[in-house]
């Protein structure tokens, strides 16, 4: 189809980027992708810089279409969310991540496994049972599972009890992209959250905007006072690492340490350390 319409792969990619591609085409392709084994999960390490070690990984979905190439999650996740397909996808990612966790744990690396969840998944009436059965099926220790939610996922207060049910399974909840919504720390207190992830935009701007650095230190301090773990995401430079350490944040994630990579590369990092 790409060739008929415009000749090149780039043409098609551009179409996709501009979201001019028919949504139904993308959705059909996504359904097929699951069957055709085009989907994969990559993992990005979470680092404790004070201890110089990997404390966990975040599972991130990848889709390589045979003609269109890599399609970013930002392009297809929103459509999967709208259509409800995210339920199937989310379950697939969780199962994949849980099996992977179990493999690493059996090799002596019982690191935390974080998985992103959409609002649709949290709203689903059988979400607790689904997670429970995947944990049983894979033998994954629930204490090693962390579910990442965004502020948008949490806007409904009726979700508090749902989250409390999830917590009873023994897993952890973290709030992703912290600072990008209108959610305040006070509001946060209503939800049984264990950790916050400082959004990349703050980390990016802290080195050239002193007030952002001050804001970050304040968020870090307040969050720690309220007993949340705090991790900074999108850390790309040594300067950012140093500023975060000064601000009291030693948990970090970002290209400075590693991009999201296939599981074999994570095992290599676990065996040889992050400096290698
Ligand atoms: P997110 O959960 O905020 O994930 C972090 C994103 O930032 C990832 O993009 C990651 O590759 C990227 N990133 C990490 N470190 C750096 C850095 O130092 N610099 C820069 N520039 N980027 C960095 P990715 O993998 O493209 O995922 C985008 C979003 O798609 C995720 O944002 C998440 O909201 C969503 N997503 C990915 N996988 C899943 C999934 O399995 N389920 C759900 N519901 N959403 C997912
Ligand atoms: Ca995330
Ligand atoms: Ca994030
Ligand atoms: Ca994000």
ipTM: 0.98
Q: How confident is the model at residue 185 (pLDDT cuts 50, 70, 90)?
A: low
Measured in Å, residue 133 CA sits from the centre of ligand 4 at: 28
> Average pLDDT in the 224-239 region?
95
Residue 172 scores a pLDDT above 90: yes
> Average pLDDT in the 231-235 region?
97
Atom in ligand 1 nearest the alpha carbon of residue 42: 25
Residue 154 has a pLDDT of 66
Measured in Å, residue 149 CA sits from the centre of ligand 2 at: 7
Residue 7 has a pLDDT of 45
Q: Which residues are near ligand 3, the ion (C-beta closer than 5 Å)?
A: 176-177
Q: Are 198 and 179 in contact (CB under 8 A)?
A: yes
Residue 8 has a pLDDT of 47
- pLDDT: which is higher, 5 or 228: 228
- pLDDT: which is higher, 73 or 222: 73
d(CA 12, CA 9): 5
Residue 266 has a pLDDT of 98
Residue 1 has a pLDDT of 39
Atom in ligand 1 nearest the alpha carbon of residue 148: 2
Q: Which residues line ligand 1 (CB under 6 A)?
A: 44, 60-61, 72-74, 77, 90, 93, 116-118, 148, 176-177, 200, 234-236, 254-255, 260
> Average pLDDT in the 39-67 region?
96
* Lowest model confidence (mean pLDDT) among 94-98, 137-141, 152-156: 152-156
d(CA 137, CA 131): 10
Q: How confident is the model at residue 2 (pLDDT cuts 50, 70, 90)?
A: very low
To test the pocket of ligand 1, the residue of 33, 73, 134, 256 to mutate (highest count of ligand atoms within 8 Å of its CB) is 73
Looking at all shown ligands, the one closest to residue 177's CA atom is 3
> Average pLDDT in the 251-265 region?
98
Q: Is the dihedral of CA 44, 95, 166, 168 positive or negative?
A: negative
Measured in Å, residue 276 CA sits from the centre of ligand 3 at: 26
pLDDT digits (tens, 9 = 90+) for 3-52: 444 444 555 555 555 545 677 888 899 999 988 999 999 999 999 999 99
DSSP sequence for 159-190: HHHHHHHHHHTT-EEEEEEETSSS--HHHHTT
To test the pocket of ligand 1, the residue of 46, 59, 116 to mutate (highest count of ligand atoms within 8 Å of its CB) is 116
Residue 239 scores a pLDDT above 90: yes
Atom in ligand 1 nearest the alpha carbon of residue 115: 41
**Average pLDDT, whole number, for the chain?**
89
Residue 184 has a pLDDT of 60
d(CA 56, CA 101): 10
């Amino acid at each position: 189809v790409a060739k008929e319409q415009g000749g090149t792969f780039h043409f098609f990619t551009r179409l996709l980027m501009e979201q001019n591609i028919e949504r139904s085409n993308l959705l059909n392709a996504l359904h097929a992708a699951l069957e055709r084994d085009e989907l994969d999960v990559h993992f990005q390490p979470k680092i404790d810089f004070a201890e110089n070690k990997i404390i966990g990984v975040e599972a991130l979905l990848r889709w390589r279409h045979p003609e269109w190439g890599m399609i970013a999650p930002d392009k297809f996740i929103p459509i999967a969310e709208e259509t409800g397909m995210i339920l199937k996808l989310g379950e697939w990612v969780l199962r994949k991540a849980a099996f992977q966790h179990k493999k690493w744990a059996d090799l002596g690396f019982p690191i935390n496994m974080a998985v992103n969840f959409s609002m649709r998944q949290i709203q689903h009436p059988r979400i607790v049972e689904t997670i429970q059965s995947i944990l049983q099926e894979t033998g994954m220790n629930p204490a090693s599972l962390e579910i990442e939610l965004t502020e948008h996922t949490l806007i409904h207060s009726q979700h508090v009890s749902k989250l409390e049910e999830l917590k009873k399974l023994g897993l952890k909840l973290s709030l992703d992209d912290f600072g990008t919504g209108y959610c305040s720390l006070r509001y946060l207190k209503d939800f049984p959250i264990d950790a916050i992830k400082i959004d990349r935009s703050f980390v990016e701007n802290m080195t050239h905007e002193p007030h952002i650095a001050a804001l970050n230190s304040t968020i870090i301090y307040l969050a720690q006072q309220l007993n949340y773990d705090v991790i900074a995401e999108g850390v790309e430079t040594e300067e950012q690492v140093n500023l975060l350490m000064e601000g009291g944040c030693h948990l970090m994630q970002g290209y400075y340490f590693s991009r999201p990579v296939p599981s074999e590369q994570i095992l290599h990092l676990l065996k040889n350390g992050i400096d290698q």
